[in-house]
Structure 1
Amino acid sequence: MTAETAVVLPVLVVFAMALVWGLLVVAAQIQCVDAARTGARAAARQDPADAVLEVTREAAPRGARVTVDREAGRVRVVVVAEPPALHGLPFEVREEAVASVEQTVGAEP
């Protein structure tokens, strides 16, 4: 029985660590989704570029890269982050959101 425990216990520990890492990656993905949507809404309201980046970075995971593009009446916000653990893996969490620019009151169409 001791031999079986010695073999199974490391496998269970690795499995548990993989589950925790997977949950951390999913949490980072959800943060990226929220950050991209928040940034797209702020950019669509025509908030200043600095304010859009600040709001997006506050909602994004730590160290995330944020890109805001404006093109033909639309804004696109892209948030890219590395996984929260095991930084050596060639893996990124990426999300983008697109929104139509809102017209300001009193502005010509």
Structure 2
Amino acid sequence: MTAEFAVALPAVMLLLALLLAGSAAGVTQLRFEEAARAGVRALARGEGAAAVDGIVRRLAGESAGSAVTSDGGWLSVTVSGRVPGSVGSLVPWTLSARSWALSESSPASALARVGAAHRHQPLRLSA
């Protein structure tokens, strides 16, 4: 019984470590996605890149970095970083999340808002 336990214990510990590493990476990815969404919303409202970086660091953690890009009327915020804690030093995973939004100051977004106001009609279902 003791020999079997001695052989199985390292395998169980390795499995537990992998499960914890995966969980930490999943939680970090969710935080990065939320930070990217909040950052691009602030950017679309007219906030500067420094304010977006502060929002990203508040939501994703101090080790996360952000990159802001603009392509025509579209704005993008990319949040990237490593998994924090002891798991991040053991497993070299780099995670990232990107979110896009149409700038509120662009003419295309004004047209989209006007068009969206006219599209809200009641949905009629037939049996």
TM tier, smaller:
0.7 to 0.9
Runs of 4+ in 1 over 4 A off after TM superposition: none
Give me the whole-angstrom Cα distance separating, in 2, the residues matched to 1:58 and 1:44: 18
- Conservation of the 8 A alpha-carbon contact between 2:56 and 2:64: no
Match of 1:66 in 2: 66
1:4 is aligned to: 4
**Residue 50 to residue 86, structure 1, CA distance change in 2 (3 Å):** closer
2:89 alignment partner, one of 56, 81, 87: 87
Cα distance change, pair 37–70 in 1 and its aligned pair in 2 (3 A): same
Let me know the Cα RMSD of the aligned residues. 1.7
Query: What is aligned with 1:17?
Result: 17
Partners of 1:32 and 1:79 within 8 A in 2: yes
Number of aligned positions between the proteins:
105
Bigger relative CO (Cα 8 Å, ≥ 6 apart): 1
Q: In 2, distance between residues paired with 1:15 and 1:52? A: 38
Distance 1:13 1:41 in 2: 42
Task: Answer yes or no: is 1:96 the counterpart of 2:84.
Answer: no
Task: Select the structure of larger CA radius of gyration.
Answer: 2
Equivalent pair of 1:83/1:92 in contact (CA under 8 Å): yes
Which has the larger share of helix? 2
Give CA deviations for 1:31-84 in whole Å, capped at 9, x if unaligned.
000000000000011112221221122111331111011220111000111122
Q: Determine if contact 1:61/1:81 at 8 Å carries over to the other structure.
A: no
User: TM-score w.r.t. structure 1 length?
Assistant: 0.87
Q: Give unpaired runs (5+ residues) of structure 1.
A: none
Unaligned runs of 5+ in 2: 112-127
- Amino acid in structure 2 at the alignment position of 1:59: L
Separation of aligned partners in 1, 2:40 and 2:48: 12
Aligned to 1:26: 26
Offset, 1:14: 1.1
What is the percent sequence identity of the aligned residues? 31
